[in-house]
Structure 1
């Protein structure tokens, strides 16, 4: 259980329960209250720990109430880096102290959300696999500045619920979260919140020419090809903001079978883009987003079957471009291309934000800590970096580049789904080439987020997660879109 509470600036004796650890989170370069200084003086020198530039003063108020005060010896470090530093302490908390209750005290800060992220990490790092409970029996977050925290994070409950939902979808077993189940959940939300909802099955997909989406799912039985479209405030004037998410519920690689080295054991996360955009859409609707908003999710399983899509075929896309299916494990770009072409022709959005676990190559390009962003305007890039500092998430932004575009050309058709740089290049363009493939199908402004690297704890040390989904980059995107979505989607 995670509880949030407003308190006075003083030792929280009533909240620091027996058999519970008090963790005081301070802000770098800011003076602390006298009672916190006193805790530091009373700390036991032999228990003091220093992790990079975080000093932990550890002691006991009485034999059954241990505490630790975090003191930062460097300022100006990115919030994600501070989260990473403190995560090393979080992982040892339960084992070292043998306590089941955690009390986190947020000291006065000019950016209270940054300390809130460190506090939420302590809870999330204790989540059990597949979100089957939490190792902490109780976690309390105490704040002395509720007004300032509310101003910085005005939709705390909505944000937390939606971010947790995003993580949970990714962590779910793929035989349960099928394309059909995704549709059931979206339909239920739309019905309860006054949104319009549409489901397109095989017959309608075929009639509308979404042949790439059909091809990827043609071998799937449990999780067949579907396209879901939900709209909010569609009657409003102005260009809508469109969210598109890749919903491959499990990726075997198809006939070009994905080897273990390509993370096949984690491919239930290949619907991460759908999970992210669906929960962004839901949180925006619940928060009262006042502009036209469209959610588009193409979904299926990339299965191995006698009827599965075969390498070497040419398929005509919704846009009319012929695509050479050179490799069946480059399937995400196919379903997204058809979905975007179709949805943009219907809604003519001012801006499309697409999210997908598109390429394993992004893990090499951006590491586990950055989200790759393609084709964002300078304005959006600035917002992502600013709000990313606030929420402890990082982005690597890439612009249009002709060699990446040309890497998707082939003599066999208009485009190949296995784009590559010239043969003399040592390393392929990976995420960038795939993003440029998608751009060929866009008729309106597109920003693509390759979240493969950041949405899953590949490195094993991403802050705030023990195993599986990280929650990145939900918090930053919700903040940016809730406050700037309508202006970003405005006609330029």
Structure 2
């Protein structure tokens, strides 16, 4: 659940307003002063002279907030500071039970109000959940964020709203427990989102997955009482600018017990409803692209199942034959996500893609390497593509750290009896996992994003919140829409 974003020529009378001011402001510009009494103006200007970055003026019937643009060396950093100011502002609006706020941008930062609205809206997000007690089901106070006049165009506000709806979709999916979102329900939710946004969905059932010989997905599903799914999401507008599609692949393990290589609990297994965050990000990205009618052909592939130790569950030592025909020795059933992704990456070759990007909560090694502050990126795409993805990461503050795929890492996944082992050595686990995936991503440029750190947070963290963050949606939307500039040259 998110506040609505809107655009208006002017703020309504006695409205709660936020004024974005240039760095170094000590005297209120006329547009921010309005009909303030002299004492109120003096109060604000004294606070600004004292270098306060967020000043609140309570008129009792309405509120005024003054936010000073941070002195940062790059535009990306200034926009992130404004998102964080939106988070800080939300607590003040919540305390005053403000239902609608109007934002005016009086700085030279053209995207300033959009960034403020982004941070504010993402902070205000609430997962509706399953509470039945009316006292505990409090509706959010903030319902509307309106950008005023030249703060942004109506089209820009609408585009941002759709991107944030994509983030909220991904968060909702990640936050849902497996008894409310098994593989079939996950596929149905993605299809329903496609019906709303305009992308198409083809859900492959067990029989079709078996016919395609997706040995990785089928092996992981063996211990589950419920069947797997393989969802193909496609946004192909008539005016698509790319001749070959961009393909996004998302890991869709709706719950991961670790299988027979059982995870410990608490603090490990109990968080594993988030193990489909990569698939959720793919759905959220397709949703945003379709809602905004972005002229790109983009395909999403989401293999989905839970990983359980029951029934005929696969065991360490098994050898499975993948969709590509390669054989894999299972050394650990908790290294299951790469098996699903491998089948999907092999399947992606049929599209002759321009680029394939996969997203997965794949390894604890990535979390240990860079924490929850960013994601690991590895792959075979050229340096210009990687640089463009890095730029998108800085623009959205969903930052990436690149790791190598040197030839020597292939030794980490050797098997005595099969083409590959699904488990590497004790060190560099995120790299050996990507090296495994590389064998199935041949014939096209490919990038792997290990989002295990930022996908799900156990404590509130700024506008990312607590629980599912929707990481990857804003990053991929920014990256893909910027490809239009390259295509149109």
Normalising to structure 1: TM-score of the pair? Answer: 0.83
Q: Deviation string for 1:264-323 (max 9, x for gaps)? A: 222111111111112222332343344443221111011231322212212121222221
CA distance in 1, matches of 2:404, 2:185: 36
Q: Deviation string for 1:380-430 (max 9, x for gaps)? A: 233233333433332222343223333222334322212125xxxxxx213
Residue of structure 1 in register with 2:440 after alignment: 441
1:384 aligns with 2:383: no
Q: Note the C-alpha offset of 1:73.
A: 5.2
**Equivalent position SS for 1:294:** strand
1:314 aligns with 2:319: yes
Residues 380 and 72 (structure 1), Cα distance of their counterparts in 2 relative to 1, 3 Å cut? same
Residues 383 and 126 (structure 1), Cα distance of their counterparts in 2 relative to 1, 3 Å cut? same
The question of whether the paired residues in 1 share the 8 Å contact of 2:14 and 2:62 is answered with no
**Aligned-CA RMSD value:** 3.5
Q: Note the C-alpha offset of 1:247.
A: 0.7
Q: Structure 2: state its 5+ residue gaps.
A: 130-136
The 5 A counterparts of 1:47-446 are 55-60=53-58, 62-72=59-69, 74-76=71-73, 78-79=77-78, 82=81, 86=85, 89-90=88-89, 92-93=91-92, 97-101=95-99, 103-130=101-128, 135-146=140-151, 148-149=152-153, 155-188=159-192, 197-222=201-226, 224-233=227-236, 238-260=243-265, 263-344=268-349, 346-375=350-379, 376-420=381-425, 428-443=427-442, 444-446=444-446
CA distance in 2, matches of 1:168, 1:137: 19
The question of whether the paired residues in 1 share the 8 Å contact of 2:79 and 2:112 is answered with no
Residues 320 and 274 (structure 1), Cα distance of their counterparts in 2 relative to 1, 3 Å cut? same
Residue of structure 2 in register with 1:24 after alignment: 19
CA distance in 2, matches of 1:260, 1:27: 50
CA distance in 2, matches of 1:305, 1:243: 31
Q: Note the C-alpha offset of 1:98.
A: 4.0
Among candidates 6, 18, 25, match of residue 4 of structure 1: 6
Residues 238 and 128 (structure 1), Cα distance of their counterparts in 2 relative to 1, 3 Å cut? closer
Among candidates 29, 32, 36, match of residue 33 of structure 1: 29
CA distance in 1, matches of 2:294, 2:287: 10
Q: Note the C-alpha offset of 1:7.
A: 3.9
CA distance in 1, matches of 2:229, 2:258: 19
The question of whether the paired residues in 1 share the 8 Å contact of 2:236 and 2:297 is answered with yes
Residue of structure 2 in register with 1:42 after alignment: 43
Q: Deviation string for 1:122-141 (max 9, x for gaps)? A: 23323334467753243423
Q: Note the C-alpha offset of 1:216.
A: 0.3
Residue of structure 2 in register with 1:425 after alignment: none
- How many pairs are equivalent? 468
The question of whether the paired residues in 1 share the 8 Å contact of 2:244 and 2:352 is answered with yes
Q: Note the C-alpha offset of 1:441.
A: 0.8
Normalising to structure 2: TM-score of the pair? Answer: 0.83
Residues 119 and 255 (structure 1), Cα distance of their counterparts in 2 relative to 1, 3 Å cut? same
Residues 54 and 149 (structure 1), Cα distance of their counterparts in 2 relative to 1, 3 Å cut? farther
Residue of structure 1 in register with 2:450 after alignment: 450
